[in-house]
Amino acid sequence: MASINIAFNARLAELQATAHDSVQINGHMADWGEVLAVFAVQTAGNDTGVDVATLDADRLARLTAVFWAMNAVTGQVTPVNHPDSNPNDEVDDSWTEQVLTITITSKTANEMRTTYSFSDYQNSALDELLADPAAMASLAQSLTITNAEAFRVLNALPADLAPERREVVRTALMLYGKVNYFWGGKSLRLGWNPSWGAVTKVTAEGSPTTGTYRPYGLDCSGFVDWVFYNATGGAYHISHGGGAHSQHTYCTSITWEEALPGDLVFYPEDSHVGIVCGCDESGNLQVIHCSSGSNNVVITGTSGFTSIGRPQFFTQ
């Protein structure tokens, strides 16, 4: 889903690269639960279908095709003339505004029955899936760790690691590969935020994306906040209302040799933050962070991170 949201974001960015003065968004994305239901029926329910128990490259391509069949995105720039505010004075302040209208035309699962000419069997299967929208929503908003790399990181944690540290890493891995980067994106709520993925205007200043529309998600400090907040059941807010710099001030400086899973690492001037999540097979530190470059929650090495701190939350 995150990879498809990245493609969706790229489409929005492509449209917004057109010269314009303002943007208007019409419509909304199709419900992800319904997209998954149609994908399951379309993929497994026909004569040449395959199961949807695993998501390999072929099935991802099929899911992507269903998503775009249910979400058409178009854009058009229209000039809007603003007349002179006071025709009686000598100053002509009339102007023409170039308005970019982005239209998201979504289809429901019921509409896709006709689009895909579902058989009676497929329609029956779709009825069963749509009868339990909560279950479909839980699939679309799952925090279950299923990625093999995430499992490797979790299983490689030291056996004697403090429980609170293990819980921070486990919670961080819940969002691995699932949430897009959004400048200024925060979420102090327990569990999945239903707003993630919804097309939203970037209002926080200081980013090239400011003023553009993109799927909502988290920024780097927002990800760290969400992790500690959820790892403690809502009891601890590591940034205390600030961003990466504030998170750094609530840490004690340590050396790289002292690093433990759960410690925080920072770019110069606290321009980015991540969470140490363990080591790779060669013993090199790994970091999980919400990366603008990858537009996702990723696991990388320590390249770019120049300082490390131990959150005061930990007792060791």
Would you give per-residue pLDDT tens digits along the chain (316 residues)? 777 888 999 999 999 999 999 999 999 999 999 999 999 999 887 766 666 666 678 888 999 999 999 999 999 999 999 998 888 888 888 999 999 999 999 999 999 999 999 999 999 999 999 998 888 888 778 898 878 899 999 999 999 999 999 999 999 999 999 999 999 999 999 999 999 989 999 999 999 999 999 999 999 999 999 999 999 999 999 988 889 999 999 999 999 999 999 999 999 999 999 999 999 999 999 999 999 999 999 999 999 999 999 999 997 6
Scanning the structure block, which residue is given the tokens 């419900």? 31
Please write the tens of the pLDDT for every residue from 159-201. 999 999 999 999 999 999 999 999 999 999 999 999 998 999 9
Euclidean distance between CA atoms 51 and 45, whole angstroms: 9
What's this model's pTM, rounded to 2 decimal places? 0.86
Please write the tens of the pLDDT for every residue from 123-150. 999 999 999 888 888 877 889 887 889 9
Residue type, 281: E
Mean pLDDT of the chain: 92
145 sits in which H/E element: none
Could you give the percent of the chain with pLDDT greater than 90? Answer: 79
Euclidean distance between CA atoms 30 and 165, whole angstroms: 38
Euclidean distance between CA atoms 69 and 115, whole angstroms: 9
Q: Would you tell me the crossing angle of helices 148-155 and 163-174 to the nearest 10 degrees?
A: 180
E-strand stretches of 47-145 = 71-82, 95-106
**Domains with residue ranges and CATH for the chain:** 2-140 (no CATH), 148-311 (3.90.1720.10)
Please write the tens of the pLDDT for every residue from 193-204. 999 989 999 999
Residue type, 314: F
Euclidean distance between CA atoms 298 and 175, whole angstroms: 9
Is residue 28 within 8 Å of residue 106, measured between CB atoms? yes
What is the token pair recorded at 111? 């509409």
Q: Which of these, 135, 3, 122, 125, lies nearest to 57 by C-alpha position?
A: 3
Is residue 183 within 8 Å of residue 219, measured between CB atoms? yes
